[in-house]
A and B are shown apart, each in its own frame.
Chain A
Amino acid sequence: MAEQSSSQIPPDLPALPFERVNEFPDRLSPMLVKELRQGMRTSSFVILFVLLQAILTIVLLIASLLGLSDITSDTSSAGRFVTGFILLIYSLGVLVFQPLRGISAIATEVRENTIDLMTLTSLTAWRIVFGKWLSIVSQSALIAGTVLPYLIISYFFGGMQMFPELTLWLALFVVSGALTAITVGISAVGNAIVRGLLVVGGSALIMGCLLFTFIPHIPHLIEMLAFTRGDQTLSVIAFLVAACYICYFFLELGTTAIAPSSENRATRKRLIGLGVLALCYLLLRPTGESIALFTALGITGCIALDLFSERANFPPIVCQKFLRLGVLGRIAGRFLYPGWGTGSLFFLALTVVLCMLIYLTNSNLRGYTVALLGIGTLAFPAVIIQVFARNSTNRFSSYFFILLATLILSRILGFLYENLSGELLLWIFSFIPAVLLPLASQSASTAEPLPLLFAAIGITSLYFLVILTRSLPQLGHISTLESEAQRGLDDSLLGSTDSER
């Protein structure tokens, strides 16, 4: 080819403008370089960036003019207003607009058939997804960086607690990273409806939270981020761990969707999930039982989303690492091989671990009840899929929709119960265990929590029975795969013995 090429170059061609492609050093990830090149030129980023600067400049100018015109007034309240406004604008940018840019990150590559071309390079599936995420987060960092001077300027208006407010600024950036990971990950696995729902529903939800929860609670958050109490520090650590896990989990979700089936990504993902669940529960337990339990259930929800939607087929080579560990490896494989078949068993293990954590931290019966109701709620969509939509081509979207509908229905029924006190209504819908949660909260103050606990055990056990029964064919197929993998191991062993001879 070299000879050809030299003969093909017309002599009057200008030299290639290589300086234009050397603006990024080689040590940077190729994906990051590509995404930054494209991302920085997109109108959405440029418009957002310019708009933020313009709004913040105008607000500061107005605040300065007002401050100068009325020097006798309390400048600290003006300062608090300016800080709150800057944080709101910054939050809208990094918590709504920037994460939304990830919603088609992988989907576009898949639709355009370019993902195939990328996976054929030395880029691993993880590096592709991570690069996409990192690029958006880098651009968010650019926005965060340019907002920082305004935040510092607002210090001069008074009423600012520098350290906690900068910590809040950083915390918002961490949340932005997690939200971006969610959109990037879901862009690989969710169908167009899920993505659309995330764009409309997700952004509306976050904007609602920002306006009605975040802004009024800024003083509380700032107080918490002052780290005056020990449990606050543990809570912040748990928040960081959970945020990092959400980033990892959703990026891994996207990675699994585009990685070859010979790459076993399930084992590590499940074990890390289990570890994070235990860690967050233990870190948050001193703050309160409820927050610890619901955080643990949230993490379990993430894990379940993946466990029940993983593709079931994988080649025998995946079993080889487990088979080298003997009987223990085979047993571990039943929980850790990829696919929803083993995922069902792992979900059972997860439930046992959660119950053990509750037992070890001396929780009362309410803890078990809430945990089992939560687990039953997460198992319910899997049961529906296993019974009615076994051949669903996109289990993730099916699971996501059923779970979402379940949670919305539970919330509506909970609202009706609180306002109409119709306990019977909750029991009628008790096949969705989450609807019983208001009763579980109430049972903490009553003397008879046992019937609710038995109901939670009964419903959840029934769901486990259905899931595990329907997973049996998949689990049976694993033995065939293990036999093939064993033959492969034996052959390679024979081969190496022969070559030694």
Chain B
Amino acid sequence: MSAAISVRNLFRYFGALKAVDGISFDIPHGSVCGFVGANGAGKTTTMRMLATLDYPTMGSAEICGINVIDHPDKVRSLIGWMPDSFGNYDHMTVLEYLDFYARALGYTGEERKGRIEEVMAFADLMPLADRISNKLSKGMTQRLCLGRALLHDPQVLIMDEPAAGLDPRARVELKHLIRILAEEGKTIFISSHILSELGEMCDSLLFVNAGRIVHHGDADSLRYGSDATGGVFYDVQVHGNPDSVADWVILNHGVEVIETRKQGARLRLPDTDPARAAEVLKGMVKDGVPVIEFHREERNLEDAFIDILGQLEQGGAGLTAPPDLSTPDAPSAKDPSISEATPPGP
């Protein structure tokens, strides 16, 4: 079965600016993938191309096996799109707003009523039915936008910075709704600056920098990631003399003390093999080290992202390379079609 979202060698140039520079990735059906990158990294451009709102300079992208460039109409019935910013209509209530989109999606009569009712209930819009749509708070507007995106029950949701500008409560509500959608088996491709939230709800994370994918993996691999040479870090706490850990390490090969701490030490193991960690712990306990806590060090995702960018600046050593999905027909900067590229439409 093909991936829900499949991107191959996607390029988007705006004149000399390489907004998207040959990215390739797959997102399986039913998964939630976070799209992370600094401002101007190419997130929105990529998402707009997937949503058939922009077209690539070169490369291909498919939603559920359908090419977004050749068959935009078919793709549109499969996706729900939440842009990072949009305006609502004046002189139009929330109910009329959803009614318009339901009509525009081809729903009639009782079916239209049913769809509107369902999304209003899901996004908690019932109390807002008579409110003018452009006079809602940011959180309410995002819920309305989510409701609109779900009207046709799409298989894939593409959400560009849905949590931007939301207060903490609205953010929690939105996260809750996204979790429910993920449980229902929808494929969700979501970009955000709030990495900790993405880490909680995403099955995988795509890091993009300067139009290129620099990491594609799950959040755990970043949280518990290894250093440049593959080593991993453990935090050990002991009851009593903290030097007992360092003393034990001197007698045992393959383990290093990186830092001695008040209640123990920070250790480095040469690889990620959990059996080795178990052996170290077993050895310590056996040799009488009074271990009260032994756990793998967890980085927060922001640190992981900064580390990746830092490693990129140093030449990319130790990066978790994204799987090589590219084909060799990437365009050169001298390609005349590139310099002529102009964004379509508005």
Contacts and interface: CB of A to CB of B under 8 A. Distances in A.
A331 interface: no
Contact of A4 (B51, B72, B79, B122): B122
A16 B95 contact: yes
A499 interface: no
Q: Which of A38, A106, A480 has the most CB of B within 10 A?
A: A38
A262 B91 CA distance: 34
Given A38-B92, A122-B105, A317-B70, A17 B340 contact: no
B87 A114 contact: yes
A258 B106 CA distance: 20
A315 B337 CA distance: 11
A114 B89 contact: yes
8 contacts: A9-B126, A26-B112, A30-B103, A121-B76, A258-B345, A261-B344, A262-B70, A477-B340
Interface of B: 15, 51-53, 55, 69-73, 76-77, 79, 81, 83, 85-93, 95-96, 99-101, 103-106, 108-109, 112-113, 116-122, 124, 126-127, 129-130, 148, 150, 153, 180-181, 184, 336-337, 340-342, 344-346
Given A17-B95, A17-B130, A1 B346 contact: no
A113 B344 CA distance: 14
Contacts of A38: 89-92
Contacts of A30: 100, 103-104
Given A112-B88, A313-B337, 18 more contacts: A1-B153, A5-B122, A17-B130, A26-B108, A37-B96, A42-B91, A112-B87, A114-B89, A118-B104, A121-B76, A121-B101, A122-B73, A122-B104, A188-B346, A257-B345, A260-B55, A474-B340, A477-B337
B70 A315 contact: yes
A112 B86 contact: yes
Contact of A311 (B52, B108, B344): B344
B284 to A, nearest CB: 48
Given A2-B118, A9-B121, A258 B129 contact: no
Contacts of A115: 345-346
Contact of B87 (A10, A113, A188): A113
A388 interface: no
B117 A16 contact: yes
A230 interface: no
Say what secondary structure dominates the interface of chain A. helix
Interface of A: 1-2, 4-6, 8-10, 13, 16-18, 20-21, 26, 30-31, 33-34, 37-38, 41-42, 106, 109-123, 188, 257-262, 311-313, 315, 317, 391, 393, 473-474, 477, 480, 488
Contacts of B112: 26
A317 B72 CA distance: 12
Contacts of B113: 18
B105 to A, nearest CB: 5
Contacts of A21: 95-96, 99
B285 to A, nearest CB: 48
B126 A16 contact: yes
B91 A116 contact: no
Contacts of A122: 73, 76-77, 104-106
A501 B282 CA distance: 63
Contacts of B95: 16-18, 20-21
A488 B181 CA distance: 36
B81 A120 contact: yes
Contacts of B99: 21
A112 B116 CA distance: 23
Nearest to B120: A16
B129 A17 contact: yes
A259 B72 CA distance: 10
A8 B91 contact: no
A119 B105 contact: no
B20 to A, nearest CB: 16
A5 B126 CA distance: 11
Nearest to A39: B91
A420 B199 CA distance: 80
Contacts of A1: 118, 122, 150, 153, 180-181, 184
B346 to A, nearest CB: 4
